[in-house]
Amino acid sequence: MIEDPRVRAFRHFVIYMILTAGAFVMMVPLMWTVSTSLKTRDKITIRQLELIPDPVAWENYPRLFEMRPIGIYTRNTMIIVAAALFGAWVPCTLAGYAFARIAFPGRNIFFGILLATMMLPYVVRLIPLFLFFDEIGWTRTFGPLVLPRLLGHNAFYIFLYRQFFRGIPEDIYDSARIDGCSEFGVWWRIFMPMSRPVLAAVSIFAFSFAWNDFLNPLIYLGPNKELWTLALGLNGMRGFEGEDSSLNMIMTFSMLMIIPMLVVFYFGQKHLISGVTAQGSLKG
């Protein structure tokens, strides 16, 4: 039965209106954050919603850099982000390739154990990990934050790579092996160039988790502000009196953390969706 075009148009109109309303509701917190970050201190005490501040205090942003060592916080955060991206690009891809293509003894058992680690809450491992790093003298350093990420500690990334690599046709793998490629050569020359969608998706995840990580730096870095990340610096502004800890300056700091994430998701959203949904789509 052919659907009446008017009925279909009305249904689409209703769906779009609902989605638009939902998007607006989701945008309200961001709009409020942007607005508050551009207000003067006296304006934030007014108990009314003022999305367009008057006057617009653009000076809040340069003032924040004068009040807080944003450069140091950013440098420390980028150290963790760089380690997370390296681990996502190299160890995780190698592990995913091994689980997908190399028939070593116990492969399925080890992969099952790997998946089981995803079901274990991080708070369960938190105290043993802290005691271990404290025993070897790595607390108050970047070691506990960098080394696990460098080694590709995230089982979810390995799972994504493994599923994507299994979707690459077997004929491509066999042809490369017949032509004399080693397993490393197949991974580097064949699989990695074909894996841009999943690489982009995992990179976005790794950047997001490392950029926004608060719990791990809070536990391992301690009170030394020279080691603080952006998340710790933002948290350090709460609960203190003074111009540099007013709500408008806190929201200004929040915007500095939000803007890079918005840029990453804006340019990578297409790759994020295709990378997560592409598993198995290359077969046949």
pTM of the model: 0.86
C-alpha atoms less than 13 angstroms from C-alpha of 222 in its C-beta half-sphere: 9
Give tens-digit pLDDT for 38-96: 988 888 765 667 778 888 889 999 999 998 899 999 999 999 999 999 999 999 999 99
Q: What is the mean pLDDT of the chain?
A: 87
Q: Where are the domains of the chain?
A: 1-60, 68-277
Asked whether 238 and 254 are in contact (CB, 8 A), the reply is no
Give tens-digit pLDDT for 150-182: 998 899 999 999 999 998 888 888 888 888 889
Name the architecture of domain 68-277.
Answer: Orthogonal Bundle (1.10)
Examine the pLDDT at 260 and tell me if it is beyond 90: yes
- Compute the distance between CA of residue 166 and CA of residue 108 in angstroms, rounded to an integer: 14
Burial class of residue 130 (count of CB atoms within 10 Å of its CB; 0-12, 13-18, 19+): middle
